Protein backbone atom coordinates (compact mmCIF):
# COMPACT_ATOMS: atom_id res chain seq x y z
CA UNK A 1 0.00 0.00 0.00
CA UNK A 2 1.31 3.47 -0.91
CA UNK A 3 2.23 5.80 1.92
CA UNK A 4 0.77 9.31 1.95
CA UNK A 5 3.89 10.97 0.55
CA UNK A 6 3.99 8.57 -2.40
CA UNK A 7 0.25 9.03 -3.00
CA UNK A 8 0.68 12.80 -2.89
CA UNK A 9 3.55 12.70 -5.40
CA UNK A 10 1.60 10.42 -7.75
CA UNK A 11 -1.44 12.70 -7.65
CA UNK A 12 0.68 15.76 -8.35
CA UNK A 13 2.36 14.15 -11.34
CA UNK A 14 -0.97 12.96 -12.74
CA UNK A 15 -2.52 16.40 -12.29
CA UNK A 16 0.39 18.20 -13.95
CA UNK A 17 0.45 15.73 -16.86
CA UNK A 18 -3.27 16.25 -17.49
CA UNK A 19 -2.94 20.01 -17.21
CA UNK A 20 0.03 20.12 -19.61
CA UNK A 21 -1.83 17.97 -22.12
CA UNK A 22 -4.82 20.29 -21.85
CA UNK A 23 -2.77 23.47 -22.26
CA UNK A 24 -0.11 22.50 -24.77
CA UNK A 25 -2.06 20.04 -26.92
CA UNK A 26 -0.05 19.41 -30.07
CA UNK A 27 2.54 22.04 -29.21
CA UNK A 28 3.12 25.74 -28.62
CA UNK A 29 2.81 26.78 -32.25
CA UNK A 30 3.23 30.49 -31.46
CA UNK A 31 6.64 30.06 -29.83
CA UNK A 32 7.69 27.40 -32.33
CA UNK A 33 6.85 29.79 -35.19
CA UNK A 34 8.56 32.85 -33.75
CA UNK A 35 11.19 32.03 -31.12
CA UNK A 36 14.59 30.69 -32.24
CA UNK A 37 14.95 27.07 -31.17
CA UNK A 38 18.10 27.58 -29.10
CA UNK A 39 17.35 31.04 -27.68
CA UNK A 40 18.03 31.23 -23.93
CA UNK A 41 16.21 33.43 -21.44
CA UNK A 42 16.30 34.41 -17.79
CA UNK A 43 12.98 35.13 -16.08
CA UNK A 44 11.67 36.04 -12.65
CA UNK A 45 8.41 35.25 -10.94
CA UNK A 46 7.24 38.57 -9.53
CA UNK A 47 4.55 39.34 -6.93
CA UNK A 48 2.25 42.15 -8.03
CA UNK A 49 0.00 42.20 -4.97
CA UNK A 50 0.03 41.67 -1.19
CA UNK A 51 -0.60 38.10 -0.12
CA UNK A 52 0.78 34.76 1.08
CA UNK A 53 2.84 32.51 -1.16
CA UNK A 54 1.75 28.93 -1.86
CA UNK A 55 2.46 26.43 -4.63
CA UNK A 56 6.09 27.23 -5.40
CA UNK A 57 7.21 23.58 -5.56
CA UNK A 58 4.30 22.84 -7.90
CA UNK A 59 5.32 25.68 -10.22
CA UNK A 60 8.87 24.29 -10.24
CA UNK A 61 7.57 20.83 -11.17
CA UNK A 62 5.71 22.27 -14.13
CA UNK A 63 8.83 23.93 -15.53
CA UNK A 64 10.99 20.84 -14.96
CA UNK A 65 8.41 18.51 -16.53
CA UNK A 66 8.33 20.68 -19.64
CA UNK A 67 12.14 20.80 -19.80
CA UNK A 68 14.41 19.07 -17.25
CA UNK A 69 17.26 21.36 -18.29
CA UNK A 70 15.53 24.50 -17.01
CA UNK A 71 17.12 25.99 -13.89
CA UNK A 72 14.53 26.95 -11.26
CA UNK A 73 15.77 28.85 -8.22
CA UNK A 74 13.32 29.55 -5.41
CA UNK A 75 14.10 32.80 -3.60
CA UNK A 76 11.22 32.59 -1.09
CA UNK A 77 9.32 29.81 0.68
CA UNK A 78 5.65 28.90 0.76
CA UNK A 79 3.93 30.71 3.62
CA UNK A 80 5.98 33.89 3.03
CA UNK A 81 4.06 37.18 3.08
CA UNK A 82 4.34 38.83 -0.30
CA UNK A 83 4.37 42.48 -1.28
CA UNK A 84 4.30 44.06 -4.75
CA UNK A 85 7.74 43.81 -6.34
CA UNK A 86 8.93 40.79 -4.36
CA UNK A 87 10.90 38.36 -6.53
CA UNK A 88 9.66 34.85 -5.78
CA UNK A 89 11.90 32.74 -8.00
CA UNK A 90 13.99 32.75 -11.17
CA UNK A 91 13.84 30.41 -14.15
CA UNK A 92 16.69 30.23 -16.66
CA UNK A 93 17.03 28.17 -19.81
CA UNK A 94 15.46 27.57 -23.19
CA UNK A 95 13.06 30.39 -24.04
CA UNK A 96 10.58 28.16 -25.84
CA UNK A 97 10.39 25.81 -22.86
CA UNK A 98 9.83 28.65 -20.40
CA UNK A 99 7.06 30.11 -22.56
CA UNK A 100 5.46 26.68 -22.88
CA UNK A 101 5.34 26.19 -19.09
CA UNK A 102 4.60 29.79 -18.10
CA UNK A 103 0.80 29.84 -18.11
CA UNK A 104 0.27 26.57 -16.26
CA UNK A 105 2.92 27.35 -13.63
CA UNK A 106 1.34 30.75 -13.02
CA UNK A 107 -2.17 29.31 -12.91
CA UNK A 108 -1.20 26.94 -10.10
CA UNK A 109 0.86 29.54 -8.24
CA UNK A 110 -1.75 32.30 -8.47
CA UNK A 111 -4.64 30.06 -7.45
CA UNK A 112 -2.91 28.46 -4.46
CA UNK A 113 -1.45 31.77 -3.28
CA UNK A 114 -4.93 33.27 -3.53
CA UNK A 115 -6.31 30.54 -1.25
CA UNK A 116 -3.45 31.00 1.23
CA UNK A 117 -3.99 34.76 1.17
CA UNK A 118 -7.71 34.61 1.85
CA UNK A 119 -7.23 32.01 4.57
CA UNK A 120 -4.69 34.24 6.26
CA UNK A 121 -7.12 37.16 6.22
CA UNK A 122 -9.57 35.10 8.28
CA UNK A 123 -6.84 33.77 10.58
CA UNK A 124 -5.52 37.26 11.31
CA UNK A 125 -8.96 38.50 12.37
CA UNK A 126 -9.29 35.88 15.14
CA UNK A 127 -5.65 35.09 15.97
CA UNK A 128 -6.00 36.19 19.60
CA UNK A 129 -8.91 33.79 20.22
CA UNK A 130 -8.74 30.01 20.90
CA UNK A 131 -10.43 28.98 17.66
CA UNK A 132 -9.18 27.38 14.44
CA UNK A 133 -10.17 28.23 10.88
CA UNK A 134 -10.98 25.07 8.89
CA UNK A 135 -11.50 24.36 5.21
CA UNK A 136 -14.17 22.02 3.76
CA UNK A 137 -14.55 19.54 0.90
CA UNK A 138 -15.76 22.34 -1.38
CA UNK A 139 -12.64 22.10 -3.49
CA UNK A 140 -11.83 21.99 -7.20
CA UNK A 141 -12.12 18.34 -8.34
CA UNK A 142 -8.66 16.80 -8.56
CA UNK A 143 -7.01 19.65 -6.65
CA UNK A 144 -8.09 18.97 -3.08
CA UNK A 145 -4.64 18.07 -1.76
CA UNK A 146 -3.18 21.23 -3.26
CA UNK A 147 -5.95 23.54 -2.13
CA UNK A 148 -5.93 22.18 1.39
CA UNK A 149 -2.15 22.58 1.42
CA UNK A 150 -2.66 26.22 0.48
CA UNK A 151 -5.09 26.64 3.38
CA UNK A 152 -2.42 25.36 5.76
CA UNK A 153 0.11 27.81 4.29
CA UNK A 154 -2.33 30.61 5.16
CA UNK A 155 -2.53 29.45 8.78
CA UNK A 156 -5.75 27.44 8.54
CA UNK A 157 -6.36 23.80 9.39
CA UNK A 158 -7.70 20.98 7.27
CA UNK A 159 -11.07 19.34 7.85
CA UNK A 160 -11.74 15.97 6.17
CA UNK A 161 -9.69 15.17 3.07
CA UNK A 162 -12.20 12.51 2.06
CA UNK A 163 -15.41 10.86 3.24
CA UNK A 164 -13.31 8.15 4.90
CA UNK A 165 -11.68 10.56 7.35
CA UNK A 166 -14.61 11.06 9.70
CA UNK A 167 -18.34 10.73 10.20
CA UNK A 168 -20.20 13.97 9.56
CA UNK A 169 -23.97 13.62 9.77
CA UNK A 170 -25.45 16.42 7.69
CA UNK A 171 -28.96 17.62 6.87
CA UNK A 172 -29.56 15.16 4.02
CA UNK A 173 -28.47 12.21 6.16
CA UNK A 174 -30.85 13.37 8.88
CA UNK A 175 -33.74 13.95 6.46
CA UNK A 176 -33.34 10.47 4.98
CA UNK A 177 -33.23 8.70 8.33
CA UNK A 178 -35.95 10.81 9.94
CA UNK A 179 -38.24 9.79 7.08
CA UNK A 180 -37.78 6.27 8.43
CA UNK A 181 -38.81 7.31 11.92
CA UNK A 182 -35.40 7.78 13.57
CA UNK A 183 -34.64 10.62 15.97
CA UNK A 184 -31.39 12.58 15.91
CA UNK A 185 -30.38 10.87 19.14
CA UNK A 186 -30.90 7.45 17.56
CA UNK A 187 -29.01 8.48 14.43
CA UNK A 188 -25.97 9.69 16.36
CA UNK A 189 -26.07 6.60 18.55
CA UNK A 190 -26.10 4.35 15.48
CA UNK A 191 -23.18 6.21 13.95
CA UNK A 192 -21.11 5.90 17.13
CA UNK A 193 -21.92 2.20 17.38
CA UNK A 194 -20.83 1.56 13.78
CA UNK A 195 -17.90 4.00 13.55
CA UNK A 196 -14.46 2.51 12.85
CA UNK A 197 -12.10 2.64 15.80
CA UNK A 198 -10.69 6.12 16.40
CA UNK A 199 -13.18 7.87 14.11
CA UNK A 200 -15.01 10.88 15.54
CA UNK A 201 -18.72 11.41 15.01
CA UNK A 202 -19.82 14.93 14.14
CA UNK A 203 -23.42 16.02 13.68
CA UNK A 204 -24.89 19.13 12.08
CA UNK A 205 -27.60 20.90 14.07
CA UNK A 206 -29.75 23.93 13.35
CA UNK A 207 -31.57 24.64 16.63
CA UNK A 208 -31.21 24.29 20.39
CA UNK A 209 -33.42 21.19 20.58
CA UNK A 210 -31.09 19.38 18.19
CA UNK A 211 -28.09 20.55 20.22
CA UNK A 212 -29.56 18.88 23.32
CA UNK A 213 -30.25 15.68 21.38
CA UNK A 214 -26.71 15.58 19.99
CA UNK A 215 -25.24 16.07 23.48
CA UNK A 216 -27.42 13.31 24.93
CA UNK A 217 -26.39 10.98 22.11
CA UNK A 218 -22.71 11.56 22.87
CA UNK A 219 -21.61 13.23 19.64
CA UNK A 220 -17.88 14.02 19.60
CA UNK A 221 -18.34 17.26 17.64
CA UNK A 222 -21.43 19.40 17.14
CA UNK A 223 -21.63 21.66 14.10
CA UNK A 224 -23.82 24.76 14.38
CA UNK A 225 -25.20 25.21 10.87
CA UNK A 226 -26.06 28.76 9.79
CA UNK A 227 -26.74 29.91 13.34
CA UNK A 228 -26.43 33.56 14.33
CA UNK A 229 -23.72 34.41 16.85
CA UNK A 230 -26.41 35.09 19.46
CA UNK A 231 -27.95 31.66 18.92
CA UNK A 232 -24.52 30.01 19.00
CA UNK A 233 -23.79 31.53 22.39
CA UNK A 234 -26.95 29.95 23.78
CA UNK A 235 -26.12 26.64 22.11
CA UNK A 236 -22.60 26.49 23.53
CA UNK A 237 -23.99 26.75 27.07
CA UNK A 238 -25.73 23.41 26.43
CA UNK A 239 -22.53 21.64 25.32
CA UNK A 240 -20.17 20.09 27.91
CA UNK A 241 -16.44 20.80 27.68
CA UNK A 242 -15.61 17.31 26.37
CA UNK A 243 -17.58 17.91 23.15
CA UNK A 244 -16.06 20.15 20.47
CA UNK A 245 -18.12 22.73 18.62
CA UNK A 246 -17.90 24.01 15.08
CA UNK A 247 -19.57 26.94 13.33
CA UNK A 248 -20.37 26.64 9.64
CA UNK A 249 -22.41 28.41 6.99
CA UNK A 250 -22.50 32.07 6.04
CA UNK A 251 -19.11 32.91 7.56
CA UNK A 252 -17.49 36.00 6.03
CA UNK A 253 -14.64 38.34 6.85
CA UNK A 254 -17.24 40.73 8.27
CA UNK A 255 -18.74 38.31 10.79
CA UNK A 256 -15.95 35.80 11.53
CA UNK A 257 -14.81 37.75 14.58
CA UNK A 258 -18.31 37.76 16.09
CA UNK A 259 -18.61 34.02 15.45
CA UNK A 260 -15.22 33.31 17.04
CA UNK A 261 -16.19 35.28 20.14
CA UNK A 262 -19.09 32.89 20.82
CA UNK A 263 -16.60 30.32 22.11
CA UNK A 264 -16.73 27.73 19.31
CA UNK A 265 -13.64 25.59 18.81
CA UNK A 266 -13.66 25.60 15.02
CA UNK A 267 -15.00 27.73 12.18
CA UNK A 268 -15.29 25.99 8.80
CA UNK A 269 -15.42 28.11 5.66
CA UNK A 270 -16.06 26.69 2.20
CA UNK A 271 -15.17 30.01 0.58
CA UNK A 272 -11.50 29.49 1.45
CA UNK A 273 -11.22 27.13 -1.50
CA UNK A 274 -14.24 27.75 -3.72
CA UNK A 275 -14.28 31.57 -3.79
CA UNK A 276 -10.75 32.81 -3.32
CA UNK A 277 -9.34 35.41 -5.72
CA UNK A 278 -6.13 34.47 -7.52
CA UNK A 279 -3.10 36.44 -6.36
CA UNK A 280 -1.49 38.56 -9.07
CA UNK A 281 1.89 37.05 -9.96
CA UNK A 282 3.71 37.57 -13.25
CA UNK A 283 6.63 36.09 -15.13
CA UNK A 284 9.07 38.80 -16.23
CA UNK A 285 10.98 37.71 -19.33
CA UNK A 286 14.46 38.73 -20.50
CA UNK A 287 16.07 37.00 -23.48
CA UNK A 288 19.76 36.25 -23.17
CA UNK A 289 21.63 37.65 -26.16
CA UNK A 290 23.90 35.08 -27.79
CA UNK A 291 27.60 35.72 -27.36
CA UNK A 292 29.38 37.13 -30.35
CA UNK A 293 31.96 34.86 -31.87
Catalytically active residues, by annotation: 103, 138, 170, 204, 225
Taking a C-beta distance cutoff of 8 angstroms, is the pair 52, 82 a contact? Answer: yes
Tallying the residues shown for the chain, one arrives at 293
Residues 92, 81: Cα–Cα separation, whole Å? 24
Asked if 183 contacts 203 with a C-beta cutoff of 8 angstroms, the reply is no
Q: 103 and 268 in contact (C-beta within 8 Å)?
A: no
* Cα(64)–Cα(92) distance, integer angstroms: 11
Cβ(53)–Cβ(77) below 8 Å: yes
**Pairwise CA distance, residues 275 & 272, whole Å:** 6
Amino acid sequence: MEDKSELYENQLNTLIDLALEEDIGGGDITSESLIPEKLQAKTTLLAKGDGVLSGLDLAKLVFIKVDPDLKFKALLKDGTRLHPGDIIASVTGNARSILKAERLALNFLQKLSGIATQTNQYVELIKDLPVDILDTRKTTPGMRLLEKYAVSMGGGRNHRFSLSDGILIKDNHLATLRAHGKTLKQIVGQAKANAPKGIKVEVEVTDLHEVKEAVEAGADIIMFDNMTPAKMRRAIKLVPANIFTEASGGITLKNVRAVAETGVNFISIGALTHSSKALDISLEFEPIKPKRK
